[in-house]
């Protein structure tokens, strides 16, 4: 099974998603794995032909060298932070893994679960912002929804 694993990490380029990425690299990812960063953006207006396709399937899998380029990522409406890129680049070099990004547009809860099935992922690591009970009841918890709906093992990393 070595080399066939696809470890997913849900990233939104926040501090809690960076913690989840660090945790995944330190504790789950092994040599030869594919590390797939899954990010979900709100609905947007993109190039019509591509957006019609991407609206249902998400972006193509984007290699690390491409999602490290700001000009390429501007096309997708994503601006990865330098710390996340540094973690991904270091992991790719040290662990000899392939790092890819997959971008979806829509509701994060649904799209992360779709990513698990469509990529498909062997497991998923997701951060938890630590919302209080009231905020979680009003806004809903993405990590809680994914844990209860995902078809693969999910690890929630608290920041």
What residue segments make up the domains of the chain, in order of their start?
6-158
Q: Rounded to two decimals, what is the model's pTM?
A: 0.88
Minimum mean pLDDT range among 8-22, 43-57, 66-80, 135-149: 43-57
Separation between Cα atoms, residue 8 and residue 115, nearest integer Å: 9
Rg (alpha carbons) of the chain, rounded to whole number: 15
For residue 128, list its beta bridge partners.
Answer: 158
The mean pLDDT value for 98-126 works out to 95
Separation between Cα atoms, residue 121 and residue 138, nearest integer Å: 29
Separation between Cα atoms, residue 17 and residue 78, nearest integer Å: 15
| Reported confidence tier of residue 43, pLDDT bands at 50, 70, 90 | confident
The pLDDT tens digits for 16-30 are: 999 999 999 999 999
For residue 125, list its beta bridge partners.
Answer: 9, 155
For residue 8, list its beta bridge partners.
Answer: 36, 124
| Reported confidence tier of residue 48, pLDDT bands at 50, 70, 90 | low
Nearest alpha-carbon partner for 38 in 25, 53, 21, 56? 21
Q: Per CATH, the architecture of 6-158 is what? A: 3-Layer(aba) Sandwich (3.40)
Provide the 10 A C-beta neighbour count for residue 35: 26
What sign does the dihedral 53-59-65-69 (CA atoms) show? positive
| Reported confidence tier of residue 139, pLDDT bands at 50, 70, 90 | very low
| Reported confidence tier of residue 143, pLDDT bands at 50, 70, 90 | confident
């Amino acid at each position: 099974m070595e080399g066939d694993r696809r470890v997913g990490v849900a990233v939104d380029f926040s501090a809690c998603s960076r913690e989840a990425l660090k945790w995944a690299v330190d504790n789950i990812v092994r040599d030869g794995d594919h590390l797939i960063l899954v990010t979900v953006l709100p609905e947007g207006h993109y190039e019509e032909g591509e957006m019609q396709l991407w609206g249902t399937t998400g972006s193509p899998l984007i290699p690390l060298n491409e999602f490290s380029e700001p000009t390429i990522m501007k096309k997708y409406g994503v601006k990865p932070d330098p710390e996340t890129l540094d973690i991904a680049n270091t992991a790719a070099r040290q662990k000899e893994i392939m790092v890819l990004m997959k971008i979806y547009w829509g509701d994060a809860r649904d799209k992360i679960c779709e990513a698990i099935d469509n990529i498909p992922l062997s497991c998923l690591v997701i951060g938890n912002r630590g919302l209080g009970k009231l905020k979680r009841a009003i806004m809903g918890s993405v990590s809680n929804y994914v844990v209860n709906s995902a078809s693969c093992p999910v690890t929630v990393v608290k920041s």
